[in-house]
Structure 1
Amino acid sequence: MTGTQPATQYIDTTRPHPARVYDWFLGGKDNYPVDEQLGRRITEIDQGAVRAARANRAFMHRATRTLAEDGMRQFLDIGTGIPTEPNLHQIAQSVAPDARVVYVDNDPIVLAHANALLRGTPEGVTEYVQADARDPGAILEQAAQVLDFGRPVALSLIALLHFVADEDGAHAVVSTLLDALAPGSCLVLSTMTADFEPENVKKGIAAYAAGGVTLVARSRDEVAAFFEGLDLLDPGVVPVADWRPTEPPDGAGPVSLYGAVGRKP
């Protein structure tokens, strides 16, 4: 697996990168001034941006724990981002120490942190693949070295698809990945919406575009389309903070991210 190879790819510190901006939102240290500048610009536009990032992270934790408690033992997380504890494998393996997890990202700085990602339980397996989400075939080929695609897999696409427009193949990516998974597999997805704060989201998209990053916001119906043919777990497609919350809301106001979990029949 490529996760064990040294990070030799060039890290461009002159342009913001979504994973590093997200890391800044979460209070991480693995970002550069250009990422912080964009992060601050976004928070000036939308003071709830940091809260939204944290709500999204908490959604991933709850969805992963729910599936692990329900018997899921294999996880494929695409668009991993920079390690922020607890990571997906730590949540899954705290419930099921024998869980097998494959992380996927195309950012060289994530590869540089692969060793942190690979610290799992002795009973389980945690691996990292350096690949682009727009090349699902390559992802599946490498992940098959760790995951048994004849058994259910939880496919996590957390805050990823708003960087992939429909015309760039977002639906083809999801369908290709799901087609390769066994019945009982699950799709865990969160993505940005302009349903609640259209002006703020529009300004945020423009700020990212000025930094060279393309974003797309989707309506609830457009997000639900990714789950066509799947059985949605309750409560369906909802703002991430409203998906089976276990703690009181972190502040007031909407969170402009939808989240949902669907099971392949």
Structure 2
Amino acid sequence: MITTAHEMAQPDAVEEFDGIELNLHRPQSARVEDYLLGGIGNFPADREEVGLLWGWEPGARRAALQRKAFRKAVLAWIGSCGPMQILDLGCGLPLPHWWGRAMPGSVHHRLLGEVHELAAPGSRVVYVDRDPIVMSHARALLRGNGTSEVRHVRADLAEVGAALGSGLISSGEPVALTLFDVLHEVEDARRVVAAYTEVAAPGSLLAISHRSLDHVRVSRRVLGRTAMQLPFFARSREEFTALFDGWELLGPGVVPVQRWSASRAPGNLRLARAAGAYGAVARKR
């Protein structure tokens, strides 16, 4: 059973907004995960698909929490590096706001923190997503906290020029590029990452989490995501590692998301293949 805030009003399923077709009759990955995590930024199609998802991925909610734990650990480490410009590509929906009322020490409370909240004071943060509903929520809820400058860009993450075109990201300066749990929806992810690699200044950081092709239940996942009409391009450890061509892997290198820590030494390769999702952080040489 999912703990949610669904006693609160759900958003109206308006099919068009400002001339943009929303396709609310079809599930969308950020909204599906929002429902998994107890949010209210989802619609009937998303909730129906989560009901089906349990049959293919019984541990889907636990896996989503593990991916959020990786995100929190990486962002906290980036914040410890000092002020930086950060480009959050495919930012998705903000964490459910009721997490802030969760008991201190609970899993939800421990995973709290959006990019601009975890960034060092003086940082510049740009949230990027192509979904108009996602960006509507981002503009309303991810406004900055007085210590970091925040902007929002509605663009496909593959549109590098548009993603960088907020006016807040300065070329020639290091930038932290974060791609948390989004590249499994991109067929040619290597080409997309290479485009950002080409324009990133030396000293830039790249953080990626990605669904694994090596997981023992990957065939179920592919079947489930296909049935849900969601794009799904899981990748092997080798394919994931290749995304970091031109970058120096930091910490433990490529590991399951739940095993990443900036201070952890590289782990056992055999154990690393047990991942449901891989995670890594790197610096551009």
> Shorter-chain TM-score category?
0.7 to 0.9
Structure 1 or 2, whichever has the larger Rg, is 2
1:175 to 194, 202, 216: 194
- With normalisation by structure 2, the TM-score equals 0.80
CA deviation map 1:185-242 (0-9, x unaligned)? 0110011113132xx3222222222222120111111100011121111100001000
- Superposed counterparts of 1:42-191, under 5 Å: 42-84=53-95, 86-92=113-119, 96-140=120-164, 142-143=165-166, 145-165=167-187, 169-191=188-210
Q: Give 1:235's aligned residue.
A: 252
- Runs of 5+ consecutive residues of structure 2 not aligned to the other structure: 1-16, 96-111, 264-273
Q: Give 1:225's aligned residue.
A: 242
Q: Give 1:202's aligned residue.
A: 219
Name the one with the larger helix percent.
Answer: 1
> What letter is aligned with 1:47?
P
> What letter is aligned with 1:89?
H
- Distance in 1 separating the partners of 2:226 and 2:251: 35
Greater CA drift, 147-156 or 203-212: 203-212
- Number of paired residues? 242
- Runs of 4+ that moved beyond 4 A: none
- Could you say what the CA RMSD is over the residues aligned between the two structures, in angstroms? 1.8
- Runs of 5+ consecutive residues of structure 1 not aligned to the other structure: 1-6, 247-253
The 3-state SS of whatever aligns with 1:227 is coil
The percent identity for this pair of structures is 40
CA deviation map 1:147-196 (0-9, x unaligned)? 1222111100111110011xxx3211111112111111011001111313
